[in-house]
Amino acid sequence: MIYNYCPVCGEKLLGKLAGDDGPTPFCPQCDKFWFPTFSDCVIVLVTNELNEIALVKMPYLSQKYESLISGYMKPGETAEVAANREVQEELGISLTSLRYSGTYWFAKNEALMHGFIGTTVKQDFKISDELASAKWVLAKDAPQYMFPDSPGNAALAVYRNFIREIY
């Protein structure tokens, strides 16, 4: 989000040079810069010992396509804590390991997605009300169920990282 008015006093912000950042929204009343803000999210590819991955359907995103576990980070959480929490909340399982996979910009929601590959043993899911379904799918077959490739598709980027690791 790019600020036009001060969130504290409501004053119209002016462009003021802020070092190497160039013109930046500035409140002369509060004497404060208001740098752009964005949300931080996690996206987690959950895999098991059979090289299957968990695909979930989130009805508020699509009735057709499936994706990976994802969610917003809470204030004070690290990305790793958020990744484990989201997997526990949405699938009802715990991870045995978690590896960082990279960051991805999701322009539609102005969010920075922190990608992870999480490992667990194959088990039944206890899905949250947020999901319509969840299933284990052989990794090689997953793209046929997922959102088509497009700029900003973090799920396929994390998936490609996983495939490079196992093949």
Q: Which CATH number covers residue 69?
A: 3.90.79.10
104 and 157 co-located in one domain: yes
Q: Tell me, yes or no, whether 50 and 28 share the same domain.
A: no
**One domain, residues 45 and 33:** no
The amino acid that residue 103 corresponds to is T
123 and 160 share a domain?
yes
Q: Which residues pair with 24 in a beta bridge?
A: 16
Helix (H, G, I), strand (E, B) or coil at 142: helix
Are residue 43 and residue 82 in the same domain, yes or no?
Answer: yes
Same domain for 31 and 68? no
Question: Of how many residues is the chain composed?
Answer: 167
Alpha-carbon span 142 to 145, nearest angstrom: 6
pLDDT single digits (tens) 84-127: 999 999 999 999 999 999 999 998 889 999 999 999 999 999 99
* Confidence at residue 152, expressed as pLDDT on a 0 to 100 scale: 84
Structural domain span for residue 48: 39-166
What average pLDDT does this structure show over 54-82?
94
The per-residue pLDDT for 37 is 94
- Kindly report the number of other CB atoms within 10 A of residue 1's CB atom: 10
Same domain, 10 and 27: yes
What is the rounded average pLDDT of the residues 66-87? 97
**Predicted confidence band of residue 61 (pLDDT cuts 50, 70, 90):** confident
Q: Is residue 155 scored above 90 in pLDDT? A: yes
Are 44 and 31 found together in one domain?
no
pTM: predicted TM-score of the whole model, two decimal places? 0.90
